[in-house]
Structure 1
Amino acid sequence: MKKLIYSIAFLGLAFNAYAQKIKFDKTKSKTEFIDYVMNQMTIEDKVGQMVQYTYDGGDVTGSAIDKNYIKYTKQGMMGSIFNATTTDITKKLQKIAVEETRLGIPLIFGYDVIHGYETIFPIPLGEASSWDLKAIERSAQIAAEETAAGGVHWTFAPMVDIGFDPRWGRVSEGAGEDTFLGSKIAIARVNGFQGKNLHDLNTILACTKHFAGYALAQAGRDYGSVEISDRFLRDYVLPPFKATVDAGAASFMTSFNEIGGVPSTASKYLYDQILRKEWNYDGFVVTDYTAIQELIPHGIAKDLEEATLKSVEAGIEMDMMSGAFLNHLPKLVKEGKVKEDVIDTAVRRILAAKYDLGLFEDPYRYSNAKREKETVMKKEFLNEARDIARKSMVLLKNDKQILPLKESQKVAVIGPLVKDEKNIIGNWAARGDRFGKAWSVWEGLNDVLGKNAKITYAQGTDINTTKTDGFQEAINIAKNSDVIVAVMGENEGQTGEAASQTNIDLPGNQKELLKELKKLGKPIVLVLMSGRPMTISWENDNMDAILYAWYPGTMGGLAITDVLYGKYNPSAKTPMTFPRSVGQIPIHYNQKNTGRPYLGDVDAEQKYKSRYTDSPNTPLFPFGYGLSYTTFDYSNLKLNKSTMKNGKDEIKVTVNVKNTGNYDGEEVVQLYVRDLVGSVTRPVRELKGFEKVMIKKGETKTITFTLTPNDLKFYDINMKHVAEAGDFDVFVGTNSNAPLKASFTLVD
């Protein structure tokens, strides 16, 4: 009888414990508080923290949509909701989680804040063109401040995939083709989003994606398979991911692709071996949209239960949208197929993120409508968006210095993107207003130039059409102009996710309109908006100037005007190689030399070399390329010594850069290295340093770089990450074809 009484008493105490809502106790350490929460959770409660669904009406990128998120939230079976924005909506949802569930654990709200929340900045590939790490970090800071003010805690960015293929639409979301530049930008964006303390109300959780290799899908087709060596994975693909681990990124996201026959979401090698054991990462891992259920069509799981098991075994900790964890994980734990301590580890990481955000302390601390109104799209942010947009535009061509334009010139402004507000903010533009708050090029011209603007307009054509109805109007106004500015490009839906293309020429009949305008003999400036490097060989041969504006964001029209009229001297450099044609893709500057390198001379000795018979090997524009309204001269490249010892030694590299033109201007000075002989083949060049520097007209500055053995490391024949002794060439210049060269030897 005593045993029965004690048992009943024990059960009563347990029930009471479970019945009590979580109460924040500031006297407890973070670990102690999470222990306290975990001790009150059933296995169903724990699994609930690992479940994420979308809010109604949010962007969806797949077919499986379960609209029962309110029901699951009330049942305590939801740890996170994404696509819910504004303080009004997020507060209502948070009240359900906190006040209507047994434990009252708050939700994390996530959203795709890729290049701005409401103040939209240039697309990430455009920002990468700035090579300005401070500006990129500031862009992420502003995005975080607006996002947090809107009641959202977490962004699914940065995307740090290294990509060589502009047919893949999501190159727009990354930093381009180079591992070194990509790593620096990844750190800047994590620091911008997360700040110094996640408890601060102007910061949000970052999410590094997509782990790993997603950008290297075969044929540039989104979601496609990836076949790369482990050495290539570690040398080219993984360093930006590792950089975000070192920067403290709070979460990671899986990629849709497979590598070596194993989809990322089921890869123990990626998540258990590399991310956890090698890198000691302690943040949590979320899948991409429905990625667990996609293990079934991948052919690695027979049903959703098996897909659940394989993803959990790999180390996946939050399920976005597939319902796999919600419906199958408790059963797998109870059957002993998944150990509960695996679930506990995952849940602790998720709870830790909520703790760091201060959500246990005050679940509604992000739900301040007054702060939201005062923060979003404030003037300071808009001014900075304008400046960052200017810094992101690449001047590809400027024959006879036709740019900058003079306000005294009569300018015919022609093209489908002149008055556009929809496309100018680009793809994945979060809550950006495409119809009212974005500045079109036409609005920018009129605002900057004022009442005395000598500009006329004709649309000429649409972005994707074969109709020529508007050609004649465009030709008529062009006849009466001194110069033609054609504003053309892709629509925003032609880049981004699920937007791979085999043809990346200027779409529709825009090129045909340019051909008609060309017949007038007037100088033509082509302003291009796109989310990828397009194939613009004809345009380069026939236009007098080309300004690549990418999608410049909310303030894009003002920023483009600033550049066209010399209010800002362009300084951006290409973060991806521009191919002459799709037949050259994939093309990137740091390729291997091959056993039969082509030297560029078509003669009998060069026939059996690695070359095309119908095209040069060289790109249209190389990596790191971009012009200015001024010119720069490089000279006096020096190394402070010719030998560097392996270990902790270093070499100082100096070069003089003189502004030899008529304008003050910024130059991105770039340093490349070539390892001449390795235990495995090495790239012809690798970026190992850059500095963006302002140099006044007539001024000379000495730029100094520091090289260490760490900069020379790669995965050798034995898959060891080492710097091998041997000879190295150093190149410094204005792009990846930098001609100045010096040499040194690394000795053990």
Structure 2
Amino acid sequence: MTEEQLQALLHEMTTAEKVGQLTQFAGAFYSEQEDSTPVTGRIEFPVEEDMIKESGSVLGVAGAMKLMGIQREHLKKSRLGIPLLFMADVINGFETIFPIPLGLGATWDPALIEELQTISAKEAASAGLHISFAPMADLVRDPRWGRVMESTGEDPLLNSLFAAATVRGLQGKDSLIANDRVGACVKHFAAYGLAEGGRDYNTVDLSERELRDKHLPAYKAALEAGVKLVMTAFNTVDSIPATANSTLLRDLLRGELQFDGVVISDFGAVQELIPHGVAENEAEAAKKALEAGVDIDMMSLSYAHSLASLIDEHMIDSTFIDEAVLRVLQLKNELGLFEDPYRGVSLEKEQTVVGHPSHLALAQTVAEKSMVLLKNENVLPLDKQTSVALIGPYADNQDLLGEWSIFGKTDQTTTLRQAVQKQYTHAIYAKGSQLYERDEELLKEAIAAMEQTDCLLLALGEGKDRSGEGRSRSSITLAPCQIELARLAKETGKPVIVALFNARPLDLTELEPYADAILECWHPGSEGAKAVVAILSGKVNPSGKLTMSFPRATGQIPVYYNAYQTGRPLPPGSNERFFSRYIDIPNEPLYPFGFGLSYTSFGYSNRSLSSAKWDGSGILTVSVDITNIGEVKGDEIVQLYIQDVVGEVVRPVKELKSFQKVSLSPGETKTVTFEISHDMLQYYHSDLTFASDPGQFRVYVNGSSVCEEENTLTFSLVKS
């Protein structure tokens, strides 16, 4: 349709039809075959048949035949023939499941993320979906938060790169979305990752400067990549819920950032303005949300019950509803739904595309690149002839897909036991314990298995029932029964290898002494078990690096690499009292941001800057030689950090500004060159101007965020 035709369609619509376009209900209301429990919460309310008839979009249901049927029945009842939008959480894959986003971040490979999201889009589109609620661009520093698994970590730069890559992968790069792509929805606007106490749906309190400097960049990157929708956050921003925050949505998002797409609430968030205490009833909640800029009310009846009467009673300007409806119609038009409400979907296409062998092969590759070797005391890789006792609650467990794999086939997922026994001839299995509960009989079987082999491989972790939305934890340690397994294994004197399956950074301080090697596997997806064995056996050399710090204790949270400088920084090696420190643990995390081991080692030498003084024009270059000083080929992620020594406001101790992945054969040396541009030195000042400070800057180039002072480079920014 042309813009004129869309305007004509809008003019022809009744108020009830307009309100319908701004409401979204779960698939259970459209199909008797659907589960009545929506995936992101349970809200019991009576949805009238007319509301379903006029509604504009459907949540959380997929399948080519199913969605074609729903669309067909809807169009029969729709006076104007306006098709439905089908939306769902396709976060790290549709049926072919890739590692959770926190694991995807550990690849440090935006191009790979774009590639896998293209696969996700193809599968989702073939199943009839139009919109994916991804990427989640929230910057997260608190691993107690259940939704940390859906993030890519604690760094603004990486989050920005991954958010943009996800949008490009899902949507493509054209304004009109092809039939084998889906629209992307960036979430949660804004700063949801800063929920107090790591508790879901909780308050967020931050300054505007902090919002702009640390949290907005990833959302902005998604907008610049052309994302079609923005989802509001559950939390407050400046004491106003994001879903009713006109300063956030109209002034910042639509005004300053010039977003002209659809804004959708999170699940039930409009109705939740009442318990938030900023709306007295549904009518006031609907009025505040619409006027703030929320176009679609997801899974509440606030709009459906109230907008029409608010307009009739002249309590709200009708232009607000017309603007919102037009944006929804424009999105449907960009998807080509007016020309083809089924967008080329067919059962044959779905069966051909979903779960294609090439998709599964990519899933294994991505899983291999996402895994992070946290510890290795010369026990990995494992020779094929090694006799292995595979023990632990994750040893024969198909729960590898993660919480948001709502369309994944868990019952078809290869377990670690199956993959290990295929690779290792001498492998025995004993469960040892339940995930969270001790079992005496299982423990006896595990002890017997430990006596029969040369090496002990423990498959430990937390299930998807301990992560994701609504699953925040006050303590992020492994269950005591799993720690007991590790202790008993260590007491045998045999090598102990831990394969860790989890969806958040854990406190591994108690586990670490019992393990000779720890491989962070995350919830690795459909081909995750095969990827684990590929790394354990040495077929693949691990290259993943953490994008979120692992704390030494829950009480250390939040701990993150780019913290602000303090007035009493702890001197290296000091235990003196009157400095910013803990008296019972070091300040540093157990495993820092950017950290990850390899089966080889890399040497850094000949660090150099092109100039010691720079006026900010052109480019300043940093060079370093990287040498593979080990015996096998490996990939190293070389990381560039910069510190602004003296700023107008307190600045972080370091900030990631660039990185490169290099592949090196044994003995090979490559020179890696980074370009520093003036914008890398800029930040939001106290008056919210975006500028740099003249003066000294420190430059660190290393394989993690841990940077030695003796390898520091410095330059001065001199402004004329």
For the superposition of Structure 1 and Structure 2, which TM-score range results when normalised by the shorter chain? over 0.9
Name 2:26's counterpart in structure 1: 54
The aligned residue for residue 6 of structure 1 is none
Question: Does structure 1 conserve the Cα–Cα contact (< 8 Å) formed by 2:635 and 2:663?
Answer: yes
Distance in 2 between the 1:480 and 1:199 partners? 58
Match of 2:171 in 1: 194
Aligned letter for 1:553? G
Give the CA deviation at 1:459. 0.5
1:53–1:66: 8 Å Cα contact kept in structure 2? Answer: no
- Specify which of 338, 352, 356 is matched with residue 378 of structure 1: 356
Deviation at 1:642, TM superposition (A): 2.0
Match of 1:535 in 2: 507
Residues in 2 aligned to 1:511 and 1:70: alpha-carbon distance in whole angstroms: 54
For the residues of structure 2 that align with 1:114 and 1:715, how far apart are their CA atoms?
31
Q: Distance in 2 between matches of 1:117 and 1:536?
A: 31
Please state how far the C-alpha of 1:517 moved relative to its aligned partner.
Answer: 1.4
Q: CA deviation at 1:643?
A: 2.4
Cα contact 1:116–1:430 (8 A) shared by 2: no
* Maintained 8 Å contact 2:114/2:166: yes
Q: What is the TM-score when the length of structure 2 is the normalising length?
A: 0.97
Q: Which runs of 5+ in 1 are unaligned?
A: 1-27
Asked if the contact 1:65/1:321 (under 8 Å) is kept, the reply is no
Corresponding residue to 2:407 among 419, 431, 443: 431
Residues 63-122 of structure 1, C-alpha deviations (whole Å, 9 max, x = no match) = 324464764333xx2010011210111111111222221001001000111111100100
Q: Deviations over 1:508-545 (max 9, x none)?
A: 41101111111111000001000001001122222100
Whichever residue aligns with residue 532 of structure 1, its letter is R
Corresponding residue of 2:202: 224
1:648-686 deviations in whole A, cap 9, x for unaligned? Answer: 422111111111111111111000000001110000000
How far residue 138 of structure 1 moved from its aligned partner, in angstroms, is 1.2
Instruction: Quote the offset at 1:618 in angstroms.
Output: 1.1
Shift of 1:718: 1.4
Select 2:279's aligned residue among 297, 301, 310: 301
Alignment pair present for 1:478 and 2:467? no
Aligned to 1:39: 11
Paired with 2:268 and 2:439, the residues of 1 have a C-alpha distance of 40
Stretches of structure 2 lacking an aligned partner (at least 5 in a row): 29-34
Q: How does 1:137-536 map to 2 (within 5 A)?
A: 137-197=114-174, 198-399=176-377, 401-421=378-398, 423-435=399-411, 437-449=412-424, 453-536=425-508
Structure 2 counterpart of 1:158, one-letter code: P
Report if the CA contact (8 A) 1:669-1:732 is conserved. Answer: yes
Pair 1:678-2:650 in alignment: no
1:132 alignment counterpart: 109
User: Deviation digits for residues 597-629 of structure 1, max 9, x if unmatched?
Assistant: 1114345xx311101111111110110000000
Whole-Å Cα distance in 1 between the matches of residues 436 and 334 of structure 2? 48
Q: How far does residue 366 in structure 1 lie from its aligned partner after superposition?
A: 4.2
SS at match of 1:384: helix
Taking the aligned partners of 1:673 and 1:140, their CA distance within structure 2 comes to 31
Alpha-carbon distance, 1:440 to partner: 0.8
Deviations for 1:249-274, whole angstroms, at most 9, x for unmatched residues? 00000111112211110111110111
Please state if 1:615 is matched with 2:585.
yes
The equivalent of 1:630 in structure 2 is 600
Question: After the TM superposition, which of the residue ranges 731-740 and 487-496 deviates more from structure 2?
Answer: 731-740
CA distance in 1: counterparts of 2:612 and 2:328, whole angstroms? 51
Cα deviation, 1:464-523, whole Å, max 9, x if unaligned, reads 103332112111111121111000100111010011111111124110111111111100
- Give the 5 Å matches for 1:711-726: 711-726=680-695
Q: Does 1:555 align with 2:514?
A: no
After superposition, give the CA deviation of every residue in 1:108-159 in whole Å (9 maximum; x if it has no partner): 0001111111001000001101111111111111111000000111111111
Q: Secondary structure at the match of 1:349?
A: helix
Does the 8 Å contact 1:217/1:226 carry over to 2? yes
Q: Which amino acid aligns with 2:717?
A: L
Structure-2 residue corresponding to 1:639: 609
Residue 714 of structure 2 aligns to a residue whose secondary structure is strand
Which residue of 69, 86, 100 corresponds with 2:77? 100
Paired position in structure 2 for 1:10: none
Mapped contact 1:90–1:367 kept (Cα < 8 A): no
Contact 1:115/1:121 (CA < 8 Å) preserved in 2?
yes
Residues 264-316 of structure 1, C-alpha deviations (whole Å, 9 max, x = no match)? 10111110111011000011100000001111111111111111111111111
- Structure 2 Cα separation of the partners of residues 410 and 305 of structure 1: 68
**1:21-36 correspondence runs (5 A):** 30-36=2-8
Q: What per-residue deviation string (whole Å, max 9, x for no partner) do you get for residues 163-199 of structure 1?
A: 0001111100000000111111111111111112343
Q: Which moved more, 1:104-113 or 1:636-645?
A: 636-645
Query: What TM-score, normalized to structure 1?
Result: 0.93
Report the equivalent of 1:115: 92
Residue matched to 1:698: 667
C-alpha distance in 1 between matches for 2:223 and 2:198: 27
Whether contact under 8 Å (2:432, 2:439) holds in the other structure is no
- The CA deviation at 1:703 is 1.0
Cα offsets for 1:630-650 (capped at 9, x unmatched): 10001111111222223x422
Provide closer, same or farther for how the CA distance between residues 70 and 478 of structure 1 changes in structure 2, counting only shifts above 3 A: farther
Change in 2 beyond 3 A, CA 1:366/1:64: farther
3-state DSSP of counterpart to 1:470 = helix
Determine the C-alpha separation between the residues in 2 that align with 1:658 and 1:536: 31
Structure 2 equivalent of residue 5 of structure 1: none
> 1:600 & 1:729 partners in 2: Cα distance?
18
**Alpha-carbon shift at residue 356 of structure 1 (Å):** 1.0
The aligned residue for residue 14 of structure 1 is: none
Q: What's 2:565 paired with?
A: 593
Q: Give the % identical residues.
A: 41
Report deviation, 1:693: 1.8
For residues 322-370 of structure 1, the C-alpha deviation after alignment (integer angstroms, 9 at most, x for no partner) is 1111111111122222222221211111111111111000112243111
Determine whether 1:79 maps to 2:56: yes
> SS at 1:638's partner residue?
strand
Deviation at 1:39, TM superposition (A): 2.3
Task: Please give the alpha-carbon distance, in whole angstroms, between the structure 1 residues aligned to 2:376 and 2:393.
Answer: 22
- 2:681 and 2:312 map into 1 onto residues whose CA distance is 50
SS of residue in 2 equivalent to 1:485: strand
Quote the Cα distance in structure 2 between the aligned partners of 1:248 and 1:139: 18
Greater shift after overlay, 683-692 or 195-204? 195-204
Please tell me whether the aligned partners of residues 628 and 668 of structure 2 are also in contact (alpha carbons under 8 angstroms): yes
TM-align CA RMSD: 1.3
Aligned residue in 2 for 1:733: 702
CA distance in 2, matches of 1:332, 1:100: 26
1:518 partner SS? helix
- Which protein shows a greater Rg? 1
Residue in 1 that maps onto 2:713: 742
CA distance in 2, matches of 1:355, 1:650: 43
* Structure 2 counterpart of 1:701, one-letter code: K
Q: Secondary structure at the match of 2:712?
A: strand
Q: Is the 8 Å Cα contact of residues 54 and 69 (structure 1) preserved in structure 2?
A: no
Is 1:572 aligned to residue 544 of structure 2?
yes
- SS at 2:61 equivalent: coil
Give the partner amino acid of 2:585. Answer: S
**Aligned residues of 1:673 and 1:688 also touching (Cα < 8 A):** yes
